[in-house]
Amino acid sequence: MSILALRNIAKCFGGNAILKGVSLEAEEGEFIALVGPSGCGKSTLLRIMAGLDHADGGEIVISGREVSSVAAADRNVAMVFQSYALYPHLTAGQNVAVPLAMRRLTAVQRFPFIGNLLPGQRQIRADIQRQVKEMAAALKIDHLLDRKPGQMSGGQRQRVALARAMVRHPSVFLMDEPLSNLDANLRVHARGEIVELHRRAGVPTLYVTHDQSEALSMADRVAVMIGGTLLQLAPPQEIYDDPAHIDVARFLGQPRINVVETRMDASGVVRFGALTLAVENSAPRDAAVMLGVRPEFVRLNGNPNGTLKARVERTEFLGSEVIVHTRLDAIGEAIVAKVTPVEASVLSDGMPVSVEIEPDRAMLFAMTGERLQARTVAVAPTLEKAHG
């Protein structure tokens, strides 16, 4: 049974639909990354799950309980904020202890001065302290417990925020871009740590990020949200190799996927360069379609008789690979290729090249954005004229 389920969540802000019926389920111990460009509604969705915001419609089920009308504190979800939101007036240790104290001690026991005199609270406080220490040891922040947030670095604050969220063993763990305030090196390091912590705790985690590499590298499944709609929820490899929507394909992958507009003929066949693809969906025939191919599946060679003639516009050297920007002579479309430095060494700006696309890697999309399933029929002889 899924531990967290969202059904048809909708939210409007002043007539603007921010969330248009989002549904999502998380299994026990799963790590789901919610990724999308800024303003796509992913943070709003997270806040609705946490109970910090109200949905206009839809259901939220946590551990089999419908929680739409349950207060944030009673949902047993923990959240790590982008700004960490540590209490500035409390030390790290006190920060971590707050959620435990709020749950274990009664209002009277928490009352200053009087609370300390009541029976039973001493035992609970000692217990809380012990748990805080354990948590701190697990996150290697035991030496920071007496410091206030203002005296800590960004990375340290982030760990304290993690500790505060994890210490009470929530049933769902929500993270709102927890790494975006760290510098690049620390971010990559912290990624690994969060994944490790997640494995150990086994709490289902929803991780909001706008960084696709974070999403792909950390998550069991990636949910791509664009414009208030969840376009696809799939394991990282699948969502990258087999995107269900042109926007998903465009959002994931660096550099971006090449998209060229072309035509499907009346028999449902698309020809582009040396490629011939047969569409298997029942999409309208004889219509414009989009052909997408990721830069790593574009080959460039100096063959003057290639079907897709292009000119190199500029190259970007990135160390292990080189990004080559070319422009097709026939239709003026830009095509980006990712090649090895060895392959790139023979290329120079302005040089005519011929573009080849790996046949099984080309994807077709309808003009509305949906993916069209297609299979390669044949790779035509290279002398055939480019189709545009």
Binding footprint of other proteins on the chain (CB under 8 A) = 47, 50-52, 71-73, 77-79, 81-89, 98-99, 102-103, 149-150, 164
Nearest to other proteins of 177, 247 (CB atom) = 177
Nearest to other proteins of 174, 336 (CB atom) = 174
Shortest Cβ 294–other proteins spacing (Å): 37
* 174 touches 52 (CB < 8 A): no
Half-sphere exposure of 378 (CA within 13 A, CB side): 5
Find tokens 């290697």 and name the residue: 140
DSSP 130-154: HHHHHHHHHTT-GGGTTS-GGGS-H
Nearest to other proteins of 182, 374 (CB atom) = 182
Shortest Cβ 67–other proteins spacing (Å): 13
Nearest to other proteins of 84, 272 (CB atom) = 84
| Rounded CA separation 157/86 (Å) | 8
| Rounded CA separation 339/327 (Å) | 16
- H/E stretch holding 371: strand 371-372
Shortest Cβ 198–other proteins spacing (Å): 19
Minimal CA–CA distance to 376: which of 304, 233, 272?
Answer: 272
Shortest Cβ 74–other proteins spacing (Å): 8
Shortest Cβ 102–other proteins spacing (Å): 4
Backbone dihedral region of 268: left (phi > 0), alpha (psi from -120 to 50 degrees) or beta? left
Shortest Cβ 78–other proteins spacing (Å): 7
Instruction: List Cα–Cα distances, 270 to 275, 277, 279, in angstroms.
Output: 8, 5, 7
Residues 6+ apart with CB under 8 A from 165: 78, 79, 80, 173
Nearest to other proteins of 105, 322 (CB atom) = 105
Shortest Cβ 178–other proteins spacing (Å): 12
| Rounded CA separation 306/180 (Å) | 45
Nearest to other proteins of 103, 122 (CB atom) = 103
Residues 6+ apart with CB under 8 A from 368: none
Nearest to other proteins of 113, 350 (CB atom) = 113
Shortest Cβ 169–other proteins spacing (Å): 14
Q: Residue type at 329?
A: D
| Rounded CA separation 355/347 (Å) | 13
Nearest to other proteins of 82, 213 (CB atom) = 82
> Beta strand pairing status for 31-35 and 205-209?
parallel
